[in-house]
A and B are shown apart, each in its own frame.
Chain A
């Protein structure tokens, strides 16, 4: 069943891709092929292969229980927050929190997670910023 849904989604994606390709404005200075032809070919392959996936599905993949799925989404949300807050909070603070969260969710104790978070963040700061001179996001405290 999963593969059938996946295949149908792929076919829709291919149609969407083809429609988006047809919207490309052609320049008056175009070559013999133009900017649309190759995207159309891709859309065709995408659609065909998706149709085959839908018609001849593989055995069902092993989906995680709902709890695990929420776990993954929560981690993604934390990462998105991290990406947004990085320029605001500064590298060291933001990274310490994000790394500690991931470590906690992978089964560390609270104390262990905090240590991993701070260790990762300070370690990366020292190696990449102080030693190698990479510029990292600067927070209000200067690091």
Chain B
């Protein structure tokens, strides 16, 4: 009951003209960014953060804008999967398998609208899951002391490579690099400068927004330059959409699939190190095993479109649970959303629900509103989005680069930050070549100081005894999960990876 009244308060906050307008804008931009190959949800949110920040939006409106972009990108990714057989972002990869064959059979419109409805179902149930699960997780999190938090951060880093990570050494390298970057600046506890090399600009530390935009958005521009990929992917292909509503019988046949996939996707989203790509992969494989009796999956079976779409949108909602309740994101895009919270001076985690209920519940209400908007935007207006696929990267990428520069310049007004951002762009390009994941770097720069503070606090409380880190059952449990999460991929990664075809395309910025 308490939950429902909090939710009602949330709607009261979210239903202002400004917030509705921002949600609509976010949904629209998010769908575009999801649909365009090369701009995934993490890139999309990364580019827009500095703008939300410099425009002086308050916490709740900025979060509404950016989570709408996040949900929208999850919707948008399917459009180019279905029409062009090119996933707009990584979670939409599995949608290619049955979506494109459906489009070839002349059922593109049905596939698009069915996947839109599946996305809605997945996101809708995941938002309810968030409402029910997050407060329970908060209750557990309130038992955490500094030692447990330190273990939790370690768990986040060790599982972030995910079960599909083929090289755990590179994930560990990325995490350590990110943590090392976070150490730059004045030590918060003793006031001594560290790793600044006398450069005054570095005393405040590196701004993680600069790192995020450089690593994600600018490195993408460099990738396009490297391949000189300037033509639109849709060029020369005729796109026929056809009728825009799925027949009732098709919807009926897909309903159990959607519900099962929403559940699987949500769980995959909540678990550390899984995220939306794995959510859609698991849902698809499960459905294939359960209902594919005639071997129609992969040849344009509508259930093969419904499963991954419900799965990845549910996972997107699920991934918000650990981010909001524990302050520890489990996927790339939620890591970027964490950056938003931190730059707005809001500390996520259990206290968020107690101290800023307006932010939490306003955000959750906004998720519901955004989901309905996306359904409304995506079914009748899908034609507009498909036309946007015709915009060539030679026009799009300069815009992406310039908007990134404007956003970062807007925050600080200093050229120094722009230079740092270009440096991160080049670094991101090199690391992507080496197949080093970028998300642990971001997470390291975001959480490094909090992680160190918890470590020092825990040990100081116990008079310099380092064994205090594994002193409580809770902490030991977290360490065990962390170690299992780190070792497991060494055995299973190749299997999962070969299941997720073309996993390499955007491996480094994977969500």
Tell me the A residues contacting B by CB distance below 8 Å.
2-3, 6, 10, 14, 17, 20-21, 24-27, 29-35, 37-39, 42-43, 45-46, 48-50, 52-53, 56, 58, 61-64, 68, 71-72, 75-76, 79-80, 82-84, 86-87, 91, 95, 98-100, 102-103, 105-108, 112-113, 116-117, 120-121, 123-124, 128, 132-137
Given contacts A27-B192, A137-B409, contact A107 B401 (CB under 8 A): no
| The residue from A25, A46, A64 contacting B192, defined by CB atoms under 8 A apart | A25
How many positions in chain B have a CB within 8 Å of any CB in the partner chain?
65
Task: Verify B225–A106 contact, CB threshold 8 A.
Answer: yes
For A80, the closest partner residue in chain B by CB is B422
Residues of B within 8 A of A20 (CB): 195
| The residue from A83, A103, A128, A137 contacting B398, defined by CB atoms under 8 A apart | A103
Given contacts A46-B177, A87-B415, contact A58 B435 (CB under 8 A): yes
Task: Verify A116–B394 contact, CB threshold 8 A.
Answer: yes
User: Which are the 3 A-B pairs with shortest beta-carbon distances?
Assistant: A107-B230, A83-B418, A106-B394
The stretch of B124-132, B279-287, B459-467 that contacts the partner chain: B459-467
- Is B135 engaged at the interface, CB distance under 8 Å to the other chain? no
The stretch of B259-267, B298-306, B359-367, B425-433 that contacts the partner chain: B425-433
Task: Verify B190–A26 contact, CB threshold 8 A.
Answer: yes
Given contacts A103-B394, A136-B410, contact A86 B170 (CB under 8 A): no
Given contacts A68-B228, A106-B230, contact A10 B173 (CB under 8 A): yes
CA–CA, A39 and B452, complex, Å? 9
Residues of B within 8 A of A132 (CB): 55
- Is B203 engaged at the interface, CB distance under 8 Å to the other chain? no
Task: Verify B190–A34 contact, CB threshold 8 A.
Answer: yes
Residues of B within 8 A of A76 (CB): 222, 422, 425-426
0/1 string, B201-222, CB within 8 A of A gives 1: 0000000000000000010011
Least distance between A129 CB and chain B CB atoms (Å): 9
Given contacts A6-B434, A64-B226, A84-B415, contact A102 B221 (CB under 8 A): yes
Task: Verify A83–B179 contact, CB threshold 8 A.
Answer: no
CA–CA, A120 and B402, complex, Å? 8
- Is B189 engaged at the interface, CB distance under 8 Å to the other chain? yes
Least distance between A101 CB and chain B CB atoms (Å): 8
- Is B325 engaged at the interface, CB distance under 8 Å to the other chain? no
0/1 string, B360-395, CB within 8 A of A gives 1: 000000000000000000000000000000000111
- Is B194 engaged at the interface, CB distance under 8 Å to the other chain? yes
Chain B binding surface SS class: helix
CA–CA, A13 and B334, complex, Å? 29
- Is B244 engaged at the interface, CB distance under 8 Å to the other chain? no
Residues of A within 8 A of B234 (CB): none
CA–CA, A86 and B54, complex, Å? 18
Task: Verify A106–B393 contact, CB threshold 8 A.
Answer: yes
Chain A binding surface SS class: helix
Tell me the B residues contacting A by CB distance below 8 Å.
51, 54-55, 166-167, 169-170, 172-173, 175-177, 179-180, 183, 187, 189-192, 194-195, 218, 221-222, 224-231, 393-395, 397-399, 401-403, 405-406, 409-410, 413, 415, 418-419, 422, 425-426, 429, 433-435, 451-452, 455-456, 459-460, 463-464
Least distance between A117 CB and chain B CB atoms (Å): 7
Task: Verify B406–A136 contact, CB threshold 8 A.
Answer: yes
Task: Verify B460–A31 contact, CB threshold 8 A.
Answer: yes
Given contacts A49-B176, A79-B422, contact A3 B434 (CB under 8 A): yes
For A24, the closest partner residue in chain B by CB is B194
| Pairs across A and B, CB under 8 Å, 20 listed | A17-B180, A17-B195, A27-B191, A31-B190, A39-B183, A75-B221, A75-B222, A76-B222, A79-B218, A79-B425, A80-B419, A84-B415, A86-B405, A99-B401, A102-B221, A106-B397, A107-B228, A108-B230, A108-B394, A108-B395
Least distance between B76 CB and chain A CB atoms (Å): 21
| Known interface pairs A68-B227, A103-B394; 16 further A-B residue pairs with C-beta atoms within 8 A, sorted by A's residue number | A21-B194, A37-B456, A53-B173, A72-B426, A79-B425, A102-B397, A103-B397, A106-B224, A107-B228, A108-B230, A116-B398, A121-B402, A124-B406, A128-B51, A137-B409, A137-B413
